[in-house]
Structure 1
Amino acid sequence: MTDEKINLNISAQYKKRAEKVIPHLTGTFSRAATSFIENVYPLYIQSGNGSHFTDVDGNEYLDYLMALGPITLGYNYGIVNQAIKDQLDKGILFSLPHTIEVELSELVCKTIPFADMVKFEKSGSNAVTAAVRAARAFTQKDMIAYCGTGGVWHDWQAAMVSRDGGVPKFNEDLIKIFDYNDSDGLEQIFDDNPNKIAAIVLEPTQFEEPKNNFLQKVRKLADQNDSLLILDEIVTGFRFDLAGAQKYFGIKGDLVCFGKGMSNGLPLSAVTGTSEFMKTFDDLWVSSTNNSETLSMAGTKAVINEMKEKNTIQHCWKIGKILFDGWNKISEKNNINAKMTGYPIRMDLRCFNNSGSESLSMKSFILQEMVKQNVFMSILGASYICYSHSEQDVEKTLQSFENVCDIINTKIENDDYQKHMDGSLPKTIWSMKLPSIKKHN
C-alpha cells in the first residue's frame, strides 16, 4: 500500500472547462464529480475495454459501476462494435423504416415472455413514460401506484422526488407510493382510490428479495382492480435472466420496459407486451425521429445474440457470487460491518458504524481506499458485474478490500472515518418527497 496520490491533473482541467459550459458538469447527475469523492476519484474517462476503463490522465481502473448499469458484456466489445460498423456503412437514419427494426423486434419477441409486440424508445425514462401513457389510455384512468428506485424522470414521476422544479403541482395527486414487499400498502391505495388507478409501476426487485408472495399479490391486485401492471425492467432486464425478471421471479407484466443492459451502452430502450395492450400505441402520440436510429438496433441485436450464444448471464452470476461471498467473508473476518447486499449481479454495499447506524463516511472511506488501488465502485450507486469481469478481477478486488480492512484496523478509531477522507463526501442526488402509503389501522 502507498499513500501516493493518483495523478488527476487533466481530469481537473476538464472539470474547470465543463463548469463554464455544462449545467451540473454533465448530462447525468450520477456521473458528476459531486457523486464521488472529489480529488480522489477520476472525473473524465478516455476509453474503456472489457471490465476496465482508462481516465484522461492515463490511469486504468477495474470498473464495477459499468456506465450506471448498461454495460452487460463489456466496454469496447468486439462483436457489438462490428455490428455497429457494418450498419454504419449502410446508414444511420432514413426516411422510411429500416429492416433492422423488424428483425430486432422479432428477436425481442422471441426472447421476452408474453411479448407479442415491441416499441423502441431511446431511454429507460422514455420507455416507462410511454407505458404509463398507454395504460392511462387503455384504462381511461389517470392515477399511478408506484414502487421503485425513482429512475423515471419525466413529469408524471418527477413530481414525487425532491428535484421537482418545473413539474406541475397536480402531478403529485396522480402518484401514490408503496414500499417493496408491502402489498397491504398497495391494497390501501386501491381502497382509497377506487376505479382510479390506471397502472401499478413496479421494479420487480431492487436489492431486496420478494417475500410472502409479494409479486403474485401485486399481480392479483392489478387484475382485481382492472389496472395494468407495468414492470420496470430497465435494470433487471437482460441482467437477472435473458428473459428478464418476469422469468426469474415468475411474474407476468402487462407492459414491460427494458433499457440499459439490453444494448450494452447503446441508447435504446423498449416497451413490450401482448397485442391487446401494445396496439394502444396505434392511437397515441408516442413517437420520435430518432427512435428508429439503426446503429443502436444493429448493436442491440448483436448483444442479445451474444448473450444467447455465450450464456453470458450465467457467467455474471458465477463471477458475482465469488465477489459477493468473498467480500462478506473478509468483512466478517475483520469484524467490519461493510456487507454486500442485494444480488451477485447487482450489489449494494451497506456500511454500519459501531452504534449500528448506516454510515456514509465509512462507505466513502472504504471506496476511497479502493479507488486508490484502481478499483472503481460507486458510493451512491450499485455495483454491477458484466461478462468481461474475470476471476482475476475479483481476486484483485478482494485483495484490495483486504488491504482496506488492514488500514481500518490500524488507523480508524471510534468511527472517525471522515477524519481520514481525502476529499468531501458525495452529495445525495435526490430524495423521495411523497410518503409511502401504509395500511390504515
Structure 2
Amino acid sequence: MDRSLTNSNNLKNRAKKVVPHLTGTFSRAAPSYVEGVFPVYAQSAKGSHFIDVDGNEYIDYLMALGPITLGYNYEPVNQAIISQLKEGILFSLPHPIEVKLSEKICEVIPYADMAKFEKSGSNAVTAAVRAARAFTKRDKIAYCGSGGVWHDWQAAMVSRDGGVPKFNSELIKIFDYNDVDGLEQIFEDNKNEIAAVVLEPTMYEQPQNDFLDKVRKIATQNDSLLVLDEIVTGFRFDIAGAQKYFNIKGDLVCFGKGMGNGLPISCITGPSEFMKTFDELWVSSTNNSENLSLAGTYAVIKEMEEKNTISHCWDIGKKLFYGWNKTVEKFGLDAKMYGYPIRMHMQCFDSTKKESLSMKSLILQEMIKKGIFMSVLGGTFICFSHSEKDIENTLTALESACEFVTKNVKNENYGDFLEGLMPKSIWSMKIFPTKKNF
C-alpha cells in the first residue's frame, strides 16, 4: 500500500500550536500509535472503513474508541438525525423524543424503571456515584474496572491526577477482577463506609467462581449499591447489556458508547427507588436533552432490535478472533487475541513471558501498511458493518505481518524495525488493589 501521510503530518504540526495534546481525547492522539507510520487525522468513514486526510482507506477495528456498534455513516441513524434537525436541536422545553427514548430503554434494559441521560460515560458513572452516596449517606467507593471515568472521584487513582484534591484518594478503594477476597477486605477495613461497588462487568477476563454473583451478594449484605459500568459492554454484549449476558442485577447501571453509534450520549438506569434520588440532586446540564442524539439513539436501538445486529457482531467477531489466533500460532508468535469476539485485545509476550509492546507495535505497523487499523494501546471492536471480506483481508494482512516479523527479527529486536515512535502509555495506576489479609 503506497501511502502518503503528508496532510496528516501537516495538520499535526498545526495542532501542536493550538490544541493541548493534539486533540481532545488522549487515546486518539498520534503518540498512542506508531507515530510517523499511522495516520493522524481521519476525513470520512462508511460502514467499517474510514479514509484519512491523505485519501488512504482502512478497515477500522477501534471503532471510534468503541462507540460504533452499527457502522460509520449508518443511513437509518443519519435519517433520524436529519429528521430531528428539521424540528430543532435544543429547546427551552423537553422534546417528546426524550420520553420516547426513555420508554424504549426501560423496555430493553433489565430492571430499568427510569432512565436519565448524560453526554459522556464519565458523566453517567459520576452521576451514579453521586446518587449512591446520597442514597446511602456514605462517601467511599469500591472500584473495579478499566478506567474511563475521569472526574475527581476516580481520577485520584491514576498518574494523571493533577488538580484532583488529595482527599479523593482516600475515598476510592480498588479491587481486582475475580478477587472476591480483596473486595471483602475493603468492606472489613471500611465498615459502613462504602456507598457503592462500581464494577465493569467484564473487561477482557472471564468471570470465575461465581465472581459476579458474589459481588452482588457482598454489596447487598453491606447495604451498598452495585453500580454497573456498562459504558463498553452495554448494547455490545447484548441489547440488554451485561446484566442479561452475565445474569447479574445492578442497582444503578450506566450506558454510553455503543448506544449512540457515535453520538454524544450516555444514560443511567435502574429501579425507581434508586433513580428517584436524582429528583433531589444537582445532576443537570443544558445539553443533556439535546435532541439529535436522542433521536439518533432511538434509531440505533430499533436497528439492533429489528436486524439482530449484535448476533452478527458475535458471529463475525469469532471469525477474526479464532482466525487471528490460528495464524499467529502457525508462525510461532505469542501474539494472541484475548477477551471476547466483540471486544478483544491483542497481547504479545517475549520468550521470557514478559509483555512486549515493541512486538505488538511492529505487527500492527506492518498491518497498517496493508490498510488494517488497530489500536496498539486499546481494544479491538466489531461492528454490524464488518463483513466476512473485511475479516479475510485482515487475516491476509496478519499473515504478511507475521512473515515479516519471523523473517527479519532476530533476538527479539522488534523495536529495531519500527519506522516510527514507540506508542506512549496514557496513564498508570497510582492506587493499588486491596488484597486479603490472611
TM over 0.5: yes
1:403 and 2:400 aligned: yes
1:78 matched to which residue of 2? 75
Cα distance in 2 for partners of 1:111, 1:90 equals 27
Residue 320 of structure 1 deviates from its aligned partner by 0.2
1:124 and 2:90 aligned: no
Alignment counterpart, residue 260 of structure 1, candidates 257, 261, 265: 257
Identical counterparts, % of pairs:
70
1:64 matched to which residue of 2? 61
Cα distance in 2 for partners of 1:188, 1:201 equals 16
2:139 matched to which residue of 1? 142
Which 4+ runs in 1 deviate beyond 3 A? none
2:341 matched to which residue of 1? 344
Cα distance in 2 for partners of 1:69, 1:193 equals 35
1:425 matched to which residue of 2? 422
Cα distance in 1 for partners of 2:84, 2:25 equals 28
Query: Where do residues 238-249 of structure 1 align in structure 2 (5 Å cutoff)?
Result: 238-249=235-246
Letter in structure 1 aligned against 2:97: I
Query: Where do residues 135-174 of structure 1 align in structure 2 (5 Å cutoff)?
Result: 135-174=132-171
1:43 and 2:47 aligned: no
1:107 matched to which residue of 2? 104
Aligned partner of residue 11 in structure 1, secondary structure: helix
1:21 matched to which residue of 2? 18
Letter in structure 2 aligned against 1:128: V
Letter in structure 1 aligned against 2:420: G
Aligned partner of residue 173 in structure 2, secondary structure: strand
Cα distance in 2 for partners of 1:347, 1:414 equals 28
2:178 matched to which residue of 1? 181
Cα distance in 2 for partners of 1:311, 1:87 equals 25
Cα distance in 1 for partners of 2:247, 2:324 equals 30
2:273 matched to which residue of 1? 276
Cα distance in 2 for partners of 1:15, 1:405 equals 30
Residue 355 of structure 1 deviates from its aligned partner by 2.0
1:297 matched to which residue of 2? 294
1:236 matched to which residue of 2? 233
1:356 and 2:353 aligned: yes
The superposition leaves residues 246-279 of structure 1 with CA deviations (integer Å, 9 ceiling, x where unpaired) of: 0000000000000000000000000000000000
Alignment counterpart, residue 373 of structure 2, candidates 371, 376, 380: 376
Higher mean displacement: 389-398 or 353-362 = 353-362
Letter in structure 1 aligned against 2:291: T
Cα distance in 1 for partners of 2:229, 2:344 equals 18
Cα distance in 2 for partners of 1:143, 1:342 equals 30
The superposition leaves residues 292-341 of structure 1 with CA deviations (integer Å, 9 ceiling, x where unpaired) of: 00000000000000000000000000000000000000111111110000
2:413 matched to which residue of 1? 416
Aligned partner of residue 82 in structure 1, secondary structure: helix
Cα distance in 1 for partners of 2:62, 2:324 equals 17
Note the residue ranges of structure 2 that are not aligned, 5 or more in a row.
none
Cα distance in 2 for partners of 1:262, 1:414 equals 46
1:216 and 2:213 aligned: yes
Q: TM-score, normalised by structure 1?
A: 0.99
The superposition leaves residues 360-388 of structure 1 with CA deviations (integer Å, 9 ceiling, x where unpaired) of: 00000000000010100000000000000
Cα distance in 1 for partners of 2:169, 2:403 equals 49
Cα distance in 1 for partners of 2:170, 2:411 equals 46
Q: TM-score, normalised by structure 2?
A: 1.00
Aligned partner of residue 169 in structure 2, secondary structure: helix
Cα distance in 2 for partners of 1:339, 1:224 equals 40
Cα distance in 1 for partners of 2:428, 2:333 equals 28
Residue 357 of structure 1 deviates from its aligned partner by 1.1
Letter in structure 1 aligned against 2:230: E
The superposition leaves residues 113-157 of structure 1 with CA deviations (integer Å, 9 ceiling, x where unpaired) of: 000000000000000000000000000000000000111000000
The superposition leaves residues 357-416 of structure 1 with CA deviations (integer Å, 9 ceiling, x where unpaired) of: 110000000000000101000000000000000000000000000011111121111111
Letter in structure 1 aligned against 2:239: L
Cα distance in 2 for partners of 1:236, 1:166 equals 30
Cα distance in 2 for partners of 1:408, 1:90 equals 55
Aligned partner of residue 89 in structure 1, secondary structure: helix
- The size of the alignment, in residue pairs, is 438
Cα distance in 2 for partners of 1:408, 1:61 equals 21
Letter in structure 2 aligned against 1:412: V
1:440 and 2:409 aligned: no
Query: Where do residues 294-333 of structure 1 align in structure 2 (5 Å cutoff)?
Result: 294-333=291-330
Aligned partner of residue 87 in structure 2, secondary structure: coil
Alignment counterpart, residue 202 of structure 1, candidates 186, 199, 202: 199
Over aligned residue pairs, what C-alpha RMSD do you find?
A: 0.6
Cα distance in 2 for partners of 1:136, 1:221 equals 17
Cα distance in 2 for partners of 1:226, 1:235 equals 27
Cα distance in 2 for partners of 1:242, 1:83 equals 20
Aligned partner of residue 76 in structure 2, secondary structure: helix
Cα distance in 1 for partners of 2:34, 2:198 equals 33
